[in-house]
Amino acid sequence: MSEQHGKPWHLETSLVHAGERAAAPRATPIVTPIYTATTYLYPSLAELDAAFADGDSYLYTRYGNPTVAALEAAVAAAEGARGAVAYGSGMAALHAALLAAATPRGETAPRPHAILAARDLYGSSTVLLEELFAARGVRVAYADLCDLQATEAAMAELRPELLLVEQISNPLLRVADIGGLAALCKAGGARLVVDSTITTPVLQRPLALGADLVVHSATKYLSGHGDAAGGVVAARTGMLHASLVRQSRLLGASLGPFEAQQILRGMKTLALRVERQCASAAVVAAFLADHPAVARVYYPGLAAHPAHALAAASFGGRFGGLVSLELRGAAPAVAAFVDRLRLFLPATSLGDLYSLVSVPAIASHRELDAAARVARGISDSLVRLSVGIEALEDLLADLAQALKREVGSQ
Ligand code: PLP
């Protein structure tokens, strides 16, 4: 297309239009291209109208984008979901999941009255519940959702529309019995929303156990390379998926195509990375548990962990890639330990192929006040390690040198 009505275009027109809108190649690209187009053409107004009417055709990127759809299909397949919707961050995904799960069956408008959440949640998830739900009149209560009896009692009192839990919690690595919680939700007419950011579908697929929605911060293990932020919600039923899709068009917190491609690419090695991270984390946890400078290690793979048996039965012999610990000594010792580490990067994230270290009191749980942190068992001396895919020997040597000098200085 370089002319109109037999007349060649002027340079300005040609610069804008020439080369664009060729027919798609007959051969299929081996990976999904990054579709940057924000809007789509149809041959006639009647066909555009039909595309609007069918609800499935590409029209405008907030309504759907082929690169983002490829990621959504990959997550839905990984989670055994009827469908998935991707968002600009894990927090956007969590917000959307809570709105969708709180929509009473048979209605379309979100109308949450009561949410029962785990006391052990990523700090910003708790703040989201407080500032976007409790502050608007939703009754939000917290309980130990790792304790089924306590959960049942809290449900009887609150009668929540939904429960929110992290399968392995951030940062104390507590383990929830998803099948048990799903049974309670079924009996109590509530929906179960599971944040699977830390477990990933490699360890467990909560929808198969009866959960309704699975949330991921795709910024973490799914992407895995520390270079893309995103979130995804996977739905067990077509109805919940449809409600997420409708909401997403209104919330507009959609994921961009560049990030979608990076996360999709990251997911191809998810199983390999997670297997390696879990294997290394198990050795790191055992090493720390034996070290005189370490007061306590939190890791579901250790026999001393209160939910070790549940984790062993649930996660196919893997226990996750995070290890939390408390050092002997107070805050200055923690700072010295973190500052001495060379391979564990002191950056606030988890799940990357780089090993990371963070202090929840000043990072992931900073937004909670000190009393709320203490109530959740998060001390100022708690350190969270996210084990990467580096050589295990190098990781152990890094920890040993950082801890050794600590012992010497005590
Ligand atoms: N859920 C968990 C368990 C997290 O650890 C995080 C972030 O650390 C989030 C959700 C939020 O994800 P994002 O930072 O991608 O918004």
Give per-residue pLDDT as tens, 5-44: 778 999 999 999 999 999 889 999 999 999 999 999 999 9
Residues with CB under 6 A from ligand 1: 89-91, 94, 122, 125, 166, 170, 195, 197-198, 217, 219, 229, 231, 364
Nearest CA owner, ligand 1 atom 5: 122
Predicted confidence (pLDDT) per residue in 126-140, tens digit: 999 999 999 999 999
Among residues 120, 177, 195, 398, the one annotated as catalytic is 195
For residue 199, report the distance from its CA to the centre of ligand 1, in Å: 13
Distance 295 CA to ligand 1 centre (A): 27
Give dist(CA 312, CA 303) in Å, integer.
Answer: 10
Instruction: Tell the residue number behind the tokens 């963070």, with chain if given.
Output: 358
Q: Using an 8 Å Cβ cutoff, are 317 and 278 in contact?
A: no
Q: Degrees (nearest 5) of the Cα angle 357, 361, 365? A: 95
Residue 405 in this model has a pLDDT that exceeds 80: no
Question: How large is the average pLDDT for residues 399-407?
Answer: 80
Q: What is the pTM of this model?
A: 0.94
Residue 407 has pLDDT above 70, yes or no: no
CA distance 74 to 345: 30
List, for residues 56-104, the tens digit of each pLDDT value.
899 999 999 999 999 999 999 999 999 999 999 999 999 999 999 986 5
The Å distance, Cα 216 to ligand 1 centre, comes to 8
Concerning whether 340 is annotated as a catalytic residue, the answer is no
Active site residue 62: yes
Q: How far is the CA of 313 from the centre of ligand 1 (A)?
A: 26
Q: Choose the catalytic residue: 62, 82, 265, 366.
A: 62
Kindly tell me if the per-residue pLDDT of 378 is higher than 90.
no
In the numeric block, which tokens belong to residue 179? 């099948």
Centre of ligand 1 to C-alpha 385, Å, is 15
**In the predicted model, is pLDDT for residue 334 greater than 80?**
yes
Nearest alpha carbon, ligand 1 atom 11:
90
Confidence of residue 410 (pLDDT cuts 50, 70, 90): very low
Which residue from 300, 76, 299, 289 is spatially nearest to 177, judged by alpha carbons? 300
Nearest protein CA to atom 4 of ligand 1, as residue:
122
Q: 299 CB contacts (<8 Å, ≥6 apart)? A: 173, 281, 282, 285, 289, 305, 319, 320, 322, 323, 324
pLDDT given for residue 406 in this prediction = 47
Instruction: Please say if 159 is a catalytic residue.
Output: no
Q: Summarize the confidence of residues 250-261 as an average pLDDT.
A: 97
Q: What b-and-e string marks burial along 98-107, b requiring 16 or more CB atoms within 10 Å of the CB?
A: bbbbbbeeee
